[in-house]
Every structure is written in C-alpha cells, then in structure tokens.
Structure 1
Amino acid sequence: MLSWSHRKQLGTTLLLALVMALVPAAAHAGAANAPAPAAPTSVAAQGGAWNDDRCIPSDDHPRPVVLVHGTLGNKTSNWLGLAPYLANRGYCVFSLDYGKLPLVPVFHGLGPIEDSAGELAEFVDRVLDTTGADEVDLVGHSQGGMMPRYYLKHHDDAAGKVNALVALAPSTNGTTLLGLTRLLDLFPGARDLLDGLTPALEQQVAGSDFITELNRDGYTVPGVDYTVIATRYDQVVTPFRTQLIEEPGVNNVLLQDLCPVDVSEHLAIALTDRVAWHEVTNALDPANAKPTTCWSVFD
C-alpha cells in the first residue's frame, strides 16, 4: 500500500507528464511574429506575412482567416507553417494569443476555456472592424479547434460572424491521453490541483464537466460550416476518432484517407503537414477545391 506522501508525489508526476504531453509547439515558442511588408498592402498579405492590419480581403478570398492555437501554444509558434502558406495564397491571416496565465510567458491556452472564448470573440470583432469584412473563417488546432465551438454556442451573434470552422486534431470530446488521464482518479485531489493550476487541461480530460456540458445539446450551430481534419497517429487527443463530429453536414476528414503514407501526429498536422494544409484551403474555398493527395505536398 502506497503512503499518502508517495501517492501525492506520484500524482504530481502524473500532472507534469500530462502538461508535457499537451505541449503543441514548444520548440518554436520563442519565434518572433512574421514580419509585415514594408509597403501598405492593397489586397491580401504579401510574402507570407500575417497579422497585418493593412491587409484588405480580396474578391477571391473575401473572409479573413483567424488562426486559433492549441494548448501551450501561442499566436506565432503554432502557425509558422500554415500562416505563411495561407497568406501566400492570397488570404488575410490573423492569429491571437488566448488563455494566458499570470507569470507564464510564451505558453498560452491554459486559462479557463470560457474566458478564452471571450477573448476570441473580441479578436474576431477586431478583425472584422479592421478589414471591413462581414465574416471570418476560423482555423484551430487541438484546443483551438474545440474552444471556438463554445464561442459559437454561447456568444450572441457569433454564428453570424463566422462562415466556417476548420478544426485540426481538435479535442472535440476531450482526451484520454492514451489512457493516462484515467489515472487522475487514483490520486485524491489530482483533478482539483490540475484545475487550479491549469484549468484548460482539466477541462479537456474526457468526461470533464466542461466537455459534457459543451456537447450536451449538439456540437454545431446553424449557419456555420464545420470541417474536422484528424490523423490516426494522434498521440495527444485520443482515441483519434473522438475528434470527429458525427452530425449531418460536418465534413470529417482522416488524413490517411487522402494520403495513406502520411504519418503526421498531433503536432505535425498543424506545423508541417502540407497535405493537411491543402485540405484546409479546400474547406476555406470549397467552390475551388482540388483533390487532396500525397502530391499536395508540392502545391
């Protein structure tokens, strides 16, 4: 029988393992924002730049794209690949930091998800005011693919401001983290400790009160197009099929159905996977969609 001190020590170790497993892009966390072009931008951002308030949406891409990072990510680290990819294709691209905790720099998406949704609401309004657009498209990774659903369901007129939500490896139904989260119940107070230190982590555990309430009356809202892009090799949001939204009209995409040799896991699907990025552009512009295959890495 383990003593209380040993059980507490094991509980702390488990919490640390849970935090480290959910880091989405720490290797890039210190990177600076993509530079803005020297001259004013007349239409979409040039040269892969993003977060450029001078960007004016074009007729081809009339909706700005708002990128929503994952847990322990930030507005730069999560999007060093996808943001320039979209900007180079003529989209106005913006990203935000949310869920900051006091005295925790760089690593965000840790605060209560309800509060983070409020930050997203304010950012969407700012992007609409800045660009003059009527709607935005949201592209999110991990928590960033799930948290916008709270925004859409609980903020007035949110659905009228958003055309589409494209979710990369979202924590739709929370995660078991390969079964590790089940161990939390073995250590008294572990869930409360996790909730007190990093609320968004506890809220994303499969079966949490937050996830249960968010999904209770359905996953989607009318007027918004939903796409979920998942990989069978996801090791963070598990089981990977719990990421999918099984409701009419939702476009659920498994990367390996598009490219069987794609081995991207939870981080790579957002950071480096051009097959996934190509499918993102199809979701953003379905009228001009092109088949996504393994050859899409060269597009």
Structure 2
Amino acid sequence: MENGGGMATIVLVHGILGVGSELFPTHALPIRPVVDYFNGVKVHLEKSGIGVMAPTTPPLQAIEDRGKLLAQSLDSLPAGRVDIIAHSMGGLDARFVLHRYPDIAQRITSLTTIGTPHRGSAVADMVRSGTNALYDLAPAFLTRQIGALTDLTTARAQAFNEKTPDAGGVHYMNIAGVAPMNSQQLLLQLAAEIGKLSGANDGVVLRSSALYDKHEHLDDWPVDHFGEIGWASWRGGLSVQASDFYPDQHLERYNTLLAKIWSLPAR
C-alpha cells in the first residue's frame, strides 16, 4: 500500500515476555522465533501490500530500557506513513518512545494500544509485593533486568503517566479486552485471582486501565489478554486445527482496526 511517498508501514510492538520477528535482532543472521507473538497478523497485513515491522525488545526489562531499543529499531523507518499497534506493556514502551524521541514521533500517525495497563496492573502489584525480599537482596544489575515487574505496578504507572505526556500530532487509540471468565485460559484465571481484579478485565488488565482518559477508546474486544493477539482458543487432545491458531475472528478484528487507522489523515 503506497502512502505519503512510500509504502505504508505498521509497527507491531510486543508486550512483556514477548518477541518480535527476530529472536536476536543484533545477530548477524536472522533467527526466527518458534511462536509468532501476534499470531499471523504480520503475514496477513503483508499480503495486503502493507509493510510491517515487528521489533524485539528485552522481555522483562524496564520501560526505559525496552523503549530505548524500540527507538533504535524505529530509527530505520522507511519513507511513507507509519502507524503503531502495541500490545500490553508494548503500549507503554511506545508511549515512552513517542514522548522521548520527537524525531520519531513526527513520523508516526497513530498509536493503538491493546490491553495495555496504562494505570498499572493489580497482578503486577501482587507479584511485586511478594518479591520485595528478593529485590532487596538482588544486585542492581539483576533487578534492572526484571524492571518490568516494578514498572507495571499501579504506583509506578501513575508516575509514568505524569512524566510521559502524549506527543503532539500523534493520534492515540485504546482497545480493552473484556472476556467472560469461562473463556479465559487457566493462566489468566489464576492471574485474575492473584490480582483480585474487580470489574471488566481481560484476566490481567482491567478495562479501566486499558482505556486511558486522554485517548480515543475503540470498541472492546471480547477476548482475554492472550486472545488480543490471537491465542484465545485451545482444545483438549493432541490434534491441531486451523481454528486453534486463528480463533474467534482474530484477523477480522485487526482488519477492522486497520480500517479505523486508515481513516485518520497521515502526518
């Protein structure tokens, strides 16, 4: 898809414990991950003639560290329109980049966050409070490697929001996942119990946290946190079906999102 003097580009930004299109982006030879974090979205968009970048950031490091590496990847953006779709913590990484790096922000038309804990996560609060003793004993270089556990707490999220205003000229949009409890995978059921989530949520992030006051709110997605990236449906047994990998109108939801993105005027 040609737009603004070059191919339109979508940047897919993964969340905590995720990976982009390469396991080790600085390695001389590309090493592809076994699991596609956004589950077919990159290939689906590329078939439509859209350029897609899927950078890799450290899985558990702090927002600032992840954001700096994301910015390095975005330094090589091609000519033309650029829009970002970010999942979970990736939305915070992208917000950091757009605030901290104005030269990159001026190239970006929109940022859409999906299941991003803009106000932090009660799950992170519980995990972090349960590991205080370990943090106190661990050396600083080690705690920095798992800084995400602190950055995703509600207290740290408030501080992040205060010092990270939105970049002018970028259109910010949010999507929340809201899934029935009986559709959530075991991990997310446990996460909801650990975090004592009350109110609509995706098993990890409350709807009220995923929808930031200063952003445009799009329709909720009826899936859990994994379903937001296409991993919503699993069956018992050893057999595999196509529906296991593209469940519940996964790609159709991204098509709808893309139509919304294209309705915005390019920078």
Q: Secondary structure at the match of 1:214?
A: helix
1:231-264 per-residue CA deviation (whole Å, 9 max, x = no partner) reads 1220112x222111112xx3212325xxxxx3x1
1:20-99 equivalences in 2 (<5 Å): 57=2, 62-76=7-21, 77-99=36-58
The amino acid that maps onto 2:65 is D
Check whether the contact 2:9–2:52 (CA below 8 A) recurs between aligned residues: yes
Residue 8 of structure 1: aligned partner: none
**Does 2:208 correspond to 1:241?**
yes
Q: Partner of 1:297 in structure 2? A: none
Structure 2 residue 74 is matched with structure 1 residue 124: yes
Given the alignment of the two structures, is residue 253 of structure 1 paired with residue 205 of structure 2, yes or no?
Answer: no
Unaligned runs of 5+ in 2: 22-35, 180-201, 231-245
Structure with larger Rg: 1
Q: Which stretches in structure 1 are left out of the alignment for 5+ residues?
A: 1-43, 45-56, 100-108, 257-261, 289-299
Aligned residue-pair number: 207
Counterpart-to-counterpart distance in 1, 2:162 and 2:44: 36
Amino acid at match of 1:244: L
C-alpha deviation, 1:284, in angstroms: 2.1
> Alignment identity in percent?
22
What corresponds to 1:205 in structure 2? 153
The equivalent residue for 1:227 is: 173
Q: C-alpha distance in 1, partners of 2:70/2:130?
A: 35
Q: Does 1:144 align with 2:109?
A: no
- Give yes or no for contact 1:270–1:276 (8 Å, CA) kept in 2: no
Task: Check conservation: 1:166, 1:283, Cα contact below 8 A.
Answer: no
Greater RCO (Cα-Cα under 8 Å, separation 6 or more): 2
Distance 1:148 1:154, change over 3 A: same
CA-to-aligned-CA distance 1:73-123 (integer Å, 9 cap, x gap): 111421232112221222111111111xxxxxxxxx212211211111111
In 1, the alpha carbon distance for the partners of 2:76 and 2:134 equals 38
Q: Name the CA shift for 1:184/1:97 in 2 (closer, same or farther; >3 Å).
A: closer
Change (3 A) 1:254 1:231: farther
2:142 equivalent to 1:176: no
CA change 1:61–1:157 in 2 (3 A) is: closer
Is residue 124–residue 136 contact of structure 1 (8 Å, CA) maintained in 2?
no
Cα distance in 2 for residues equivalent to 1:92 and 1:147: 21
Q: 1:215 aligns with which of 161, 164, 180?
A: 161
Q: TM-score, normalised by structure 2?
A: 0.68
Deviation per CA, 1:59-78: give whole Å up to 9, x if none.
79843111111111111421
